Amino acid sequence: MTVRTLCLALLALSASSCSEGPCEDLRCYQPNPCDEDRSCGWLGLPYETLVAPTPPRTGELIRLGEDVPWRGYALRTEPGRIYTFSCTAEGFESCDVYLRSGNETEGFVEQEGSTTHVHFRSTRPDSHFAYVSARPVGSTGTFRYAFSERPDDHAPDAANATRLTPGGPAVPGLLQAGPDTDTFAFDMQAGHAFSAHCTGAANLERGITARLTGPDEDSLAKLSIGVSGDGWTGRALATRTGRYVFQLVSDRTTSLAYACSLEDLGVDDHGDAWATATPLPEGDSVPLTGAIQLGYDLDAFTFLARAGHAYALRCDTPTFSPCRDARILDARGNELPAPVGVASDTRLRVKVEGQGTPGVYALTLLDLGADQGAGPRDAVRVTADVPLTGYLTPAGDEDFFRFEAQAGHVYTVQVDGASVEALLLASPSQSLTRYDIAKVQRFLVDADATVLLRVSGPRAKYLLRVQDVGVDDHAGTPEEATDVGDALRVSGVLDASTDVDGFSLVLEARPHAPRITSRDTKFLLFEADGVTPVPWDTARGAWVPRAAGRHFVRADVFGTFSAPDAYVLELLPL
């Protein structure tokens, strides 16, 4: 008789001794089927005690009657250490491993082909049991089993944490499959920003949690933790000198290799309040450079804004969003729209604020110069066809320019970003564009004169352009009126809202009905003096000259002006 035959006979004999009782229907050889009731008389096949490391051994699941009992193993462990029980199926599809400690199921299962690993951290000595059965249920055959201790490269608690040195080489680590916590510690001085980075630990959202703590609950400021580049990064400002700790906590189904390093970013380069802000010198172009050391860092600068000057920021690192979004603030912290100007000398602040991403930035504070003129006396001279850039700064700011206009010439004036009005300098209450509603406005003067251009509107940068677009076709006074003789037809173009065209013509002493081709031009008929109106016969719809002779026709704009209006007037004798 072979040893195997003898063992099977003994197992069969033992199986037949299973007494009838309360657990008969539960299969007596299942783990603790009767709980504390020992009257069952059968607790399964004998346990085999394993001590780590136990190299791979061969086991077998056999059929006893209608059932295939599990195989049990008593695992010798020490508290706090990590162990792995492994089972590799040979005669069936896969192992079903069941791990218990007292009345609790525990362990983390990792499947690797036909091998099942159960990882666990021992909480009590010699209190862990592994049970092996087959999948599919009822299968029989051989299997290989082993028991080993997993080395824990970094302790799970702060007391035994691995030390990190700022600026030193990265420390490698391995987050084991199943529950594992690796802890690191380092010293940091108050006021220093630091960055702890772990390459490889990028998938924080997939079973890895990062924690960062300081000497007390108030020792971390501007804390940010998250995925950055190729791994996990934690940044903060140390507000206390002392020992800081960060941990990587894993509950993944597979292991993950990583390497952690620490960088001391030094003292914050620029303060974040009025008292600690970096003062800037005066100048036309003042550079501002710095670094957002933490994801939510804030750098502040102050400068003296001169009355009547306009200021703006230029971002010289446009790919870095905190640079693009830098703002100028007043003493109350209100953001000021660009370009910024003040009515009196005032100290203002520049704010560069992190948006979750650290990096370096470069800005330039531009002094755009003094105001372009506060009134007629200091108005800035402009010439035709030479664009000029200006800035409206404080609320209610107006810029004034002076332009020398020639008699009879028609000019256009346009301001991109603001509004403009043309006035006669000699009589500022007389507007040359009051009724002009076009974007590109027009004006003209009857005699050489200085025209005052007043630019107004919201805070904005603007571009002022004046152009000479030609000569007026007809004068507007009786003395300079266009003489058409005895012709009864006149035509022309009204080039501006204040344009007036005059014609001298000879009429008979009989009614004349007007026929008009025009959009916005109105006509008046006077006697030769240009003052006495010719009577209008409403019933006939005609003018009725008092006597034959020379008369004066006046053409000007009716209502608002939006564009030059070409017109034709015919006088039809009745």
pLDDT at 38: 37
pLDDT at 253: 63
For 95-108, write each residue's pLDDT tens digit: 999 888 876 666 77
For 229-246, write each residue's pLDDT tens digit: 677 788 888 888 999 998
- Taking the CA atoms of residue 311, residue 313, residue 314 and residue 315 in that order, the dihedral angle to the nearest 10 degrees is 180
pLDDT at 191: 85
CA distance 476 to 492: 12
pLDDT at 32: 42
CA distance 110 to 108: 7
- Any residues with CB less than 8 A from the CB of 139 and at least 6 apart, and which? 61, 68, 91, 92, 93
For 161-182, write each residue's pLDDT tens digit: 999 999 999 999 888 766 788 9
Q: Is residue 471 a contact partner of residue 410, using CB atoms and an 8 Å limit? A: yes
Q: Is residue 258 a contact partner of residue 172, using CB atoms and an 8 Å limit? A: yes
CA distance 259 to 354: 27
Report the candidate in 560, 501, 552, 499 with the shortest Cα–Cα distance to residue 529: 552
How far are the Cα atoms of 238, 321, 551 from residue 291, in angstroms, in the given order? Answer: 17, 12, 81
Residues 190, 194, 200: CA angle, nearest 5 degrees: 150
Phi and psi torsions of 248, nearest 5°: -115, 120
Amino acid symbol at 154: H
Q: Is residue 447 a contact partner of residue 427, using CB atoms and an 8 Å limit? A: no
What end-to-end distance do the CA atoms of the chain give, in Å?
149
CA distance 314 to 362: 9
The low-confidence residues of the chain, meaning pLDDT below 70, are: 1-45, 103-106, 177-178, 201-206, 226-229, 253-254, 395
